[in-house]
Amino acid sequence: MSGLVDARGVTFRHVYVHVPFCARRCSYCDFSIAVRRVVPVEDFVQALAGELAARFGEPPALSHERTRIDTLYLGGGTPSRLGGDGVVDAIAAVRRYASVDESTEVTIEANPEDVTAAIVAQWVGAGVNRVSLGVQSFDPQVLAWMHRTHDVAAVHAALDALAAGGIANWSLDLIYALPGEVPRDWARDLDAAIALEPTHLSAYGLTVESGTPLARWRERGAIHDADEERYERDFLLAHERLAAAGFDHYEVSNWGRPSLESRHNSCYWRGVPYLGLGPAAHGFDGDTRRWNEREYVRWLERTRTGSDPMGGSEQLTESQRALEAVYVGLRTSQGVMIAESDAPVVDRWIAEGWGSVAEGRLRLTPRGWLRLDALVAALTEHRSRY
């Protein structure tokens, strides 16, 4: 067997590579990361190649036998910590099994301080054509509170490097709904982001995860979770400002210029198969979800022995698939198809301003998205009776 076709004959055209390395852990982060002062680039790339070999056998000898992939996404962690050579080598490992051409969306997540003109040139040469820049805020005090390793000047320097290297498709990440103890002007951050003219923007409400510095601060009473009113106010302000600036709010946390939504992330919401590589990476073959060993060292050890570093898997039941279809559908601007039997639930939502129906599809409004979990539970519970 060769190419990105698994033992069941599933072809993967969307590939995610988890790069765990970070210079430090941000105050809110509970992701699977490996803090390293010196990044073991060679070890990581060899392990990535080992995982591919364990799952797909020897790479095809002829390039025309390789499956063309639609998207390749290097996430983390901080993939930009691999530098120029490391990203080139990581993409080359995937290229030995899959064809990556000019039509493939190749995205790398990056911290501003890692982005230089020389490194961007190497990324572009390897096929990178989209960058997601982890900015989070333009306020120096907020960046310090978050334990971010960049300053505002680094953001502008990174964007200059992207422009010089010819990468015009780039996204900014921001975080909202900070604790009341943190002085932050969310409107000012939004205006600063819009002024930079990105093609895409992602904004995430802050959540306090156990085991993080943020959770310890809360336990000591130093900070408190943002209340529901602040969360709603920040979310709706983002929707208002970004819509006015010409962005399409195509998913709860994502805004894109017309036709410039993240093609890779959209594959998750469409429920199509995708391949996950690297520590803690998740994948889906259309029927079963699987995830890799979470810890970098354990994942590394497994790949060195030639074994598949899978940490676990779950075959979805019919009810799980139905629930997930409603959930991922309602969190996007595409919505979900509804039936006449859904009217007792849906009609109330429309009256409350939480959704609208057109051509048989229910689409939530921003105020409806704020109630997403409750609305999904209500609709799936109602449908279970029929």
Note the pLDDT tens digit of each residue in 356-372: 999 999 999 999 999 99
**Higher model confidence: residue 2 or residue 304?**
304
CATH 3.20.20.70 fits 14-270, yes or no: yes
Q: Contact at 8 Å (CB) between 277 and 56?
A: no
Written as six digits, the tokens of 34 are 């490996």
Distance CA 223, CA 218 (A): 5
Q: What percent of the chain has pLDDT over 70?
A: 99
Written as six digits, the tokens of 33 are 């990361």
Distance CA 172, CA 137 (A): 10
pLDDT digits (tens, 9 = 90+) for 90-147: 999 999 999 999 999 999 999 999 999 999 999 999 999 999 999 999 999 999 999 9
3-state secondary structure of 22: strand
pLDDT digits (tens, 9 = 90+) for 302-330: 999 999 999 999 999 998 998 999 999 99
**Taking each helix axis from N to C terminus, what angle separates 186-195 and 228-244, rounded to the nearest 10 degrees?**
20
The predicted pLDDT at position 64 comes to: 78
Name which of 252, 276, 280, 287 is nearest 266 in CA terms. Answer: 252
The predicted pLDDT at position 9 comes to: 86
From-to residues of CATH 3.20.20.70 in the chain: 14-270
Q: What global pTM score does this model have? A: 0.95
- Going by the DSSP 8-state scheme, the letter that residue 82 receives in this structure is G
Distance CA 7, CA 14 (A): 17
